[in-house]
Amino acid sequence: MAFSFIRKKFSPSTHSHLPQVEAPDQQDTGFDLTQLSIEVIDNESQLNPAQEEAAMLHSGGQSDAALQFLHAEIKQITGLRQTETWLMLFELLQQANNKTLFDELGLQYVLEFEKTPPIWREAQAKIQQEHSNYFAFSGYLNGQSIDQEIATFYAACQGCSSLRMDLAKVMQIDTIAAAELLAAWQRCAQQEIKLQLLGHLEVEALLRGLIKTGRAIPAEAPLWLLLIELQQIQGLQNEFENLAVDYAITFEVSPPSWIDSKHESPIQLPSPHLNPYSNPDRLLIEGDLLNGKPELVAIIRDFVRLHAFPVLDFSQVMRVDFDSAGQLLSLCMEYPEQVTFCNVNALVLALFRIMGLTELVILSLPAQK
């Protein structure tokens, strides 16, 4: 299936719009849309230049500038019944906690569309989660780079009782790097620093491709032991013992011993918030997706790879920056039309449209009452 990521030119004769509030007609799509209350996006509809500019300003953290931009644009489109600019402005006023202007805009909205405007959401206490204890290893771990990598890793461990360790970028690892990583991870265990793995499937596959049962090459021993240690960190005793036996047979030595301890799951995901009418697994994303919080994108990446038809709930995401949106785009290109985005606010949705993400995912938007 081919996807076009080049936006079509905006045509004044085609009114921009978000999906209508009313439920769409049922169609034979091969996927039960009613299970997720999905509202299909018309990708022929494009944002106008003002909407694109506001979306990019908000993405870059310039919400005040975006608000002024959209407020001026409302005066230009009054009478055209184009909802997107209105909904983006409502969202900006909501995020700015400006209820006075929100209510004033609501009165104008009623006159424009002859229906109820979006409802003000009372401020809720932000969910505070410790996402800062995070470290991502680089793509190439070898004898030339590993010393600096380990030094940075130890710095990230300072003052931590647990560390989210992201291995998804690792594309190469040699025997020296494996030995150094093994020593570092075992040192963390001795210091009772719990390692929580993200993106470990890639590095496990890499290590398994570098070893072979019965091939007793001494330089491969650290690769074996690192793979075995990955099972120890995850608390996977059966996998640990099977690999340990293969290692012992290959090198004619005693197998490594399992250490009983409390283990963290390989990926610490927030508790799923499930829609009783939906079957796919659902992840509530708790916080904005920004370049300074790479751990959130790492959690999303692992969640998507662990579930056949994942649902990502953006109800607590106020802003997504351009870099993070690009990472989501790359991820969704791996799984076209398998991932559902729900409760995406109008500003973030506009950014996703600009980048072509809406052509790759299923969208379930919050109904406007």
> For 171-178, what is the mean pLDDT?
94
Please provide the DSSP assignment of 176-196 as one string: HHHHHHHHHHHHHHHTTPEEE
Phi-psi sector, 175: left (phi>0), alpha (psi -120 to 50), beta:
alpha
In this predicted model, what pLDDT tens digit does every residue of 114-167 receive, in sequence order?
999 999 988 654 544 444 588 889 989 999 999 999 999 998 888 888 888 989
For residue 198, give the nearest of 144, 267, 254 by alpha carbon: 267
On whether the CB atoms of residues 124 and 87 are closer than 8 A, the answer is no
Q: Residue 23 above 80 pLDDT?
A: no
- Residue 161 is predicted with a pLDDT of 86
- Tokens linked to 92: 């900006």
**pLDDT higher than threshold 90 for residue 260:** no
- pLDDT at position 162, please? 86
Tokens of 195: 């390692």
- How many other CB atoms are found less than 10 A from the CB of residue 65? 14
Predicted confidence band of residue 229 (pLDDT cuts 50, 70, 90): very high
Q: Based on the number of CB atoms within 10 Å of its own CB, is 361 exposed (0-12), middle (13-18) or buried (19 or more)?
A: buried
pLDDT tens digit sequence for 34-48: 344 444 344 444 788
Mean pLDDT of 63-80: 88
Using the predicted structure, report yes or no on whether residue 281 has a pLDDT greater than 60.
yes
pTM of the shown model: 0.63
Q: If 0-12 CB within 10 Å is exposed, 13-18 middle and 19+ buried, where does residue 312 land?
A: buried
Domains in the chain, please, with CATH? 134-251 (3.30.750)
Could you give the CA distance from residue 363 to residue 360 in angstroms, rounded to a whole number? 10
Q: Is the pLDDT of residue 280 over 50?
A: no
